[in-house]
Amino acid sequence: MTETTLHFHPRAVYAPTPGRLERLGLLLRRHRPLIAAVQWGVVLFYGLLVVVPAFLPLPPEGAHLWDNLRLFAQFVFWGLWWPGVMLTTIALGRVWCGLFCPEGFLSELASRHGRGKTAPGWLKWSGWPFVAFVITTVYGQLTSVYEYAEAALLILGGSTLAAIVIGLLYGRDKRVWCHYLCPASGVFAVLAKLAPLHYKVDRAAWDRTSATAEPFNCPPLVDVRRMTSASDCHACARCAGQRKAVQLSGRTPFAEILNPATPARSTDALTLIFGVLGVATMAFQWTVSPWFLQLKMTLATWLVEHNYYALLADNAPWWLLTHYPEVNDVFTWLDGAVALTYILGGGLLLGAALLTGPLLAAFFARKFAHTPTPDWQRFALILTPLGAASVLLGLTMTTATQLRGEHLLLPWIPAARATLLAAGCLAALWLALALTKKCTTALPARIGVFLALCLPVTLMATLWALAFFVW
């Protein structure tokens, strides 16, 4: 083998004829300038949607999506864009992060010209994405981020500014923000496990190839040589064809969850249970929940009876609680306190209830096993399809509300919601059954494992059925 064959060349990396997916990965690597141009376009469009509407007056009565920029931006960003990003992550992996995300692109660009310092130890704590996700989710609900451009600019603009600052301080041509701090990173990492496309690494082929092969830059700081999961990969294609060992490939949607060689990290499991299925579900449902209303009315009555009126005042600034008296949309301090309690406290309680299933399943699996069995983290990941369905159901609630505001009625929505919820539940149960079969325990213990995993699925199905068909 000559020295030249060890260097990257898109037409000679795979012999003799790469498949279509392999060629697509190589094509993306070859056309980085075109991808950069697309990313600049996304940055400009993102800026238009986030920045400009915040400086426009509130929509007058009778305004529509097609004649008011604030309403148009609100619909495009929250009604179409974010549901589309989540759906794309489920279907294609983290291509949004690698090819389109304005925050990641700007953070990497800033790091190219920044100080290039090494990320400090405190920044590398694996729990930051989960904490950031919970904070932005709760804060977004308190300030009505889906309805008002000012709140969107504060949260999204602040996040983008923080990404740029982190890029200026740490790393060189890296996305330190994305890897350690991005509020959406943990959710993307969970949903990407279902993607039928991923960049597959042949470890043996990598090790056989000379270390003199053309180097490449992995901005999200992934150890590509040891990569077995799509969770951290941004699908940017910069490693496609590297050392004749990396290629864009297809797989079954549940392959990563069921394969014991892929990681089942505690951070992913906890983000799924307490974040995606816990706090996020409460954030999606609190405005339609009679439990929230009952809690607020009970507390309000108690405050009035005891002459405590401070919490009933509605003088909070808009950047702390929703405050738009022009359209009669104002939160009292009590509204904010009860919403915070319901979303955060209820989300954590829901997560604890959901976690009971995987913990019980791991207990039954270990109790009667004589060989290694799946741990609770692996059992928790069977809820990933249900988490994906939950995110799509919650985000499209905003889409449906916006369309109803335009008097566009979609009679098929209840059936579509029921179908999506059923698909998520059935996929989770199928994964539960598949993992149960992998347990080398006695039949009664296997039954216990499967029944334990049915508990969180039943709980989530009940909550969404209540939100859509009862409340």
pLDDT at 372: 66
Distance of CA 6 to CAs 3, 89, 224, Å?
6, 33, 18
Distance of alpha carbon 30 from its chain centroid, rounded?
Answer: 29
- Cβ–Cβ < 8 Å for 343, 292: no
List the one residue out of 206, 242, 235, 200 whose CA is nearest residue 9.
Answer: 242
CA distance 360 to 450: 10
pLDDT at 374: 83
Task: List the structure tokens of 179.
Answer: 């890897």
| Residue 257 CB neighbour total at 10 angstroms | 21
Which residues in the chain come in under a pLDDT of 50?
Answer: 1-16
Per-residue burial over 328-340, b if 16 or more Cβ lie within 10 Å, else e, is eebbbbbbbbbbe
For residue 72, give every residue at least 6 positions away whose Cβ sits within 8 Å of its Cβ, in sequence order, or none: 65, 66
Distance of CA 381 to CAs 294, 446, 457, Å?
34, 18, 12
List the one residue out of 110, 100, 98 whose CA is nearest residue 165.
Answer: 110
| Residue 250 CB neighbour total at 10 angstroms | 13
- Cβ–Cβ < 8 Å for 133, 187: yes
CA distance 467 to 428: 20
pLDDT at 17: 59
Q: Are strands 329-330 and 246-250 parallel, antiparallel or unpaired?
A: unpaired
The whole model's pTM is what? 0.92
**Residue range 147-172, pLDDT digits in tens:** 999 999 999 999 999 999 999 999 99
List the one residue out of 34, 4, 17, 11 whose CA is nearest residue 240.
Answer: 11
List the one residue out of 229, 226, 228, 249 whose CA is nearest residue 237.
Answer: 249
